[in-house]
Amino acid sequence: MTLNEALKGALERNEFRLMYQPIVDTTGQIVSFEALMRWRYREQEISPVEFIPLMEQSGRINQVGKWVLEEACRTLAQIHQQHGNICMCVNISLIQFYDKGFVNNVKQVIERYAIPGHLLHLEVTESLFQSEQTMINEKVSQLQQHGVKFSVDDFGTGYSSLSVIQNMNIDYIKIDRSFIQHIEQKGLSIVRAVMNMSHSLNFSVIAEGVETEKQRQLLEQCGIPYMQGYYFSRPLEHPGALAYLNTAM
């Protein structure tokens, strides 16, 4: 059986689950979790880097994306009840924006779980802002009217021109970990440039892939408000994420 064939029944077979990686502020407090999909198939963990593109090609990402949103919002509602305003970041594929029911589905899920819209952050990539601008902007702004926030994931790895960045109404930019990895050797000029843009264009910044105390210090000195990475925590299973909140806060 090919991976593609195996993916057809993976949802029904309960092979997917979500893990949750904390995002912290400069004081080390958890402000958010990023929901990350995992697929366990025949005793093996298959990376989303492999299976997400397959599901995008087959269109299956729409159905599975709904499951991800539902599951992440159920966890968010639980966390919100116990710990107050902590956000949940959910990765959304460009393909999902082409699905007619996408905006309504998001609205229904946040209503059903009585989640304040601003606690749900949708992570998209720069490619979202490269075609069908009218349709995309319309959907982004409909969701923003319900409070939902948007983050650009993997920032710097795509092909966005600066004018695209200027025209998109984005709440957060996540600097890709490839730029964070080498700041001790290569310096902070990219990080500083993004910070400068963030002030004039009114978005906030999250550094991804922070792995060492030295990196944390350098980023803090640059004024980076939010960080995520193995230094703070690896992605956690659902019970682990809740337990982490209980001990850390």
- Which residue of this chain has its Cβ atom nearest to Mn ion in the complex? 153
* Closer by beta carbon to ligand G, 77 or else 88: 88
Q: Report DSSP letters for 236-247, one per residue.
A: B-HHHHHHHHHH
Task: Determine, following the binding rule CB under 6 A, whether residue 44 of this chain makes contact with ligand G.
Answer: no
Nearer to Na ion, 115 or 195 (CB): 195
Contact between 123 and Mn ion per CB under 5 A: yes
User: Which of 32, 62, 91, 151 is in the footprint of ligand G by CB under 6 A?
Assistant: 91
- Tell the residue number behind the tokens 């064939």, with chain if given: 5
40 strand-pairing partners:
45
Q: How far is CA 196 from CA 72, 79, 200, 203, 221, in A?
A: 32, 33, 7, 10, 14
Q: Interface with ligand G includes 68 (CB under 6 A)?
A: yes
- Apex 49 CA angle, 155 and 47, nearest 5: 130
**Beta strand 226-228 pairing with 120-124:** unpaired
Which letter does DSSP use for residue 157 in this model? S
16 by DSSP, 3-state: which? strand
Per CB under 5 A, 154 contacts Na ion: yes
Interface characters, 161-200, with Na ion (x: CB under 5 A): ---------------x------------------------
User: How buried is residue 73: exposed, middle or buried, by Cβ count under 10 Å (0-12/13-18/19+)?
Assistant: buried
How far apart CA 115 and CA 77 sit, in angstroms, is 6
Binding residue for ligand G (CB under 6 A) from 99, 198, 206, 235? 235
Minimum CB separation from Na ion for residue 161, in Å? Answer: 20
Q: With CB under 6 A as the contact rule, which of the stretches 78-86, 101-109, 183-191, 202-210 interacts with ligand G?
A: 202-210
Contact call for residue 52 and ligand G (CB under 6 A): yes
Residues that bind ligand G (CB under 6 A): 21, 36-37, 47-49, 52, 68, 91, 93, 153-154, 177, 208-211, 229-230, 235
Residues found near Mn ion in the complex (CB under 5 A): 91, 123, 153
Residues that bind Na ion (CB under 5 A): 153-154, 176, 208
